[in-house]
């Protein structure tokens, strides 16, 4: 059964000493300590006086629970973040029962879990960074440690679970916090509701938290030496099963990582091959353009050479002052002008002149070849 102890401002042996001692100096010394203690105690009570009354806290919790059931998570979270600190103060002052306190913080943890671990799509417009800073800091533990009595194990189970479900958690730091709780809190009465919660906390700690840290041998040793564990053999088997599961998951992750690396390498090689193909195609196209340009240049040179020779022959024959030759030259000149300025003709005339020019050119080419020979 959980034992709760509230700290007293004056220890019993101090009171006894005051009655037994006959010296006035000691009496005045104790009275001075009592006065200072009373002043400090009064100041502390004034400093931590709750903002909400018991009835208002209860009403706020009911409203938050109703909003949660109706999936208005933003409204529920806002209410609980405002009353969680007041719940601690009222509980310390014995103005609310443990059930209400546990319900407030349990629902608060559920909403934090949903927000941080993304178990449920939320439309919360709260500052995500502030909520994450709260979750990853020690604030939640430190708030609960301000209780005058040990924290209910149900709340520690919930807080440990949401921490375990987040890969960004500092598990060594989390272990230190749970160690501190387990050293200072025990539940041995198996007839109380707290007993099952405490056993669940022990299982989460030994099987999963120590498993996250890879401390499987230490977990088995601690289980064997812990008299508070109800069924140590069953818990040791769970440690071994969890170890096997984690090793399989690690092996699977390594396989997937290796497969992904191979796929990335193949994709990189394929991309390089495609790039090389594009470069080769570009080079071939450039080469074809150069060859086509060279062929055009050679054809033009041949045409210019034949035309030059033809004009030379005409100049040699002009001395005969042949009328026929002059007409022929005039016609050829006319055809050349039309050939070079095709825009002067329409499509049909251009096609006809082109045919005539081709025939004349081939005829003179043949005549020039015979004459040259």
In whole angstroms, give the CA distance from residue 107 to residue 111.
Answer: 6
Rg of the chain over all Cα atoms, to the nearest angstrom = 49
* pTM (predicted TM-score): 0.58
Q: Residue 43: phi, psi to the nearest 5? A: -65, -40
In whole angstroms, give the CA distance from residue 123 to residue 132.
Answer: 16
Dig out the tokens for 156 from the structure: 């520690």
Residues with Cβ within 8 Å of 164's Cβ and at least 6 positions away in sequence, in order, are 174, 204, 208, 209, 212
Dig out the tokens for 110 from the structure: 């559920």
Q: What is the pLDDT of residue 17?
A: 28
Indicate the CATH number of 47-251 among 3.20.20, 1.10.287, 2.60.120, 1.25.40.
Answer: 1.25.40
Dig out the tokens for 342 from the structure: 């095709």
CA distances from 273 to 215, 265, 268, 269, 324 (A): 49, 12, 9, 6, 69
Q: What is the pLDDT of residue 72?
A: 87
User: Following CA atoms 32, 38, 44, 46 in sequence, which dihedral angle do they give, to the nearest 10 degrees?
Assistant: -130
Domain ranges, ordered by start, for the chain = 12-46, 47-251, 286-372
Q: What is the pLDDT of residue 134?
A: 79
Q: What is the pLDDT of residue 181?
A: 93
In whole angstroms, give the CA distance from residue 98 to residue 4.
Answer: 12
Q: What is the pLDDT of residue 31?
A: 41
pLDDT tens, residue order, the chain (373 aa):
333 233 333 223 333 323 333 333 333 333 434 433 443 343 344 345 567 788 999 999 999 999 999 988 888 988 998 999 999 999 999 999 999 999 999 999 998 888 888 655 555 566 677 777 878 888 888 888 888 888 999 999 999 999 998 888 999 999 999 999 999 888 888 888 899 999 999 999 999 999 999 999 999 999 999 999 989 999 999 999 999 999 999 899 899 988 898 889 889 888 988 888 888 888 888 888 887 777 666 655 655 565 566 556 556 655 555 555 555 666 666 666 656 555 555 666 667 767 776 776 777 667 666 665 5
């Amino acid at each position: 059964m959980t034992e709760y102890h509230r700290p007293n401002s004056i220890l019993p042996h101090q009171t006894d000493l005051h009655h037994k001692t006959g010296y006035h100096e000691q009496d005045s010394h104790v009275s001075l300590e009592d006065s200072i203690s009373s002043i400090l105690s009064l100041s502390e009570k004034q400093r931590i006086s709750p903002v909400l009354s018991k009835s208002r806290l209860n009403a706020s919790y009911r409203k938050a629970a109703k909003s949660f059931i109706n999936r208005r998570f933003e409204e529920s979270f806002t209410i609980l973040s405002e009353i969680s600190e007041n719940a601690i103060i009222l509980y310390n002052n014995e103005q609310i029962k443990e059930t209400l306190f546990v319900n407030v913080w349990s629902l608060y943890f559920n909403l934090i879990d949903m927000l941080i671990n993304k178990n449920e799509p939320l439309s919360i417009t709260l500052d995500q960074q502030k909520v994450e800073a709260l979750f990853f800091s020690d604030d939640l533990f430190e708030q609960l440690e301000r209780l005058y009595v040990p924290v209910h194990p149900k709340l520690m189970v919930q807080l440990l679970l949401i921490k375990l479900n987040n890969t960004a958690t500092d598990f060594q730091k989390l272990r230190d916090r749970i160690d501190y709780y387990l050293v200072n809190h025990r539940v041995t009465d198996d007839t109380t509701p707290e007993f099952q919660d405490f056993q669940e906390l022990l299982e989460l700690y030994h099987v999963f938290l120590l498993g996250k840290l890879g401390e499987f041998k230490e977990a088995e040793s601690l289980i064997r030496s812990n008299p508070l564990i109800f069924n140590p053999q069953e818990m040791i088997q769970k440690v071994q099963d969890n170890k096997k599961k984690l090793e399989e998951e690690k092996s699977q992750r390594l396989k997937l990582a290796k497969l992904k690396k191979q796929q990335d390498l193949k994709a990189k090689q394929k991309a390089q091959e495609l790039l090389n193909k594009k470069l080769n195609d570009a080079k071939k196209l450039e080469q074809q353009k150069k060859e086509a340009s060279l062929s055009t240049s050679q054809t033009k040179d041949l045409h210019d050479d034949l035309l030059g020779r033809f004009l030379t022959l005409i100049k040699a024959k002009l001395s005969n002052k042949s009328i026929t030759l002059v007409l022929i030259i005039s016609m050829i000149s006319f055809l050349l002008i039309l050939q070079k300025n095709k825009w002067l003709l329409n499509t049909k005339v251009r096609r006809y002149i082109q045919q005539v020019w081709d025939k004349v050119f081939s005829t003179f080419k043949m005549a020039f070849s015979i004459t040259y020979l």
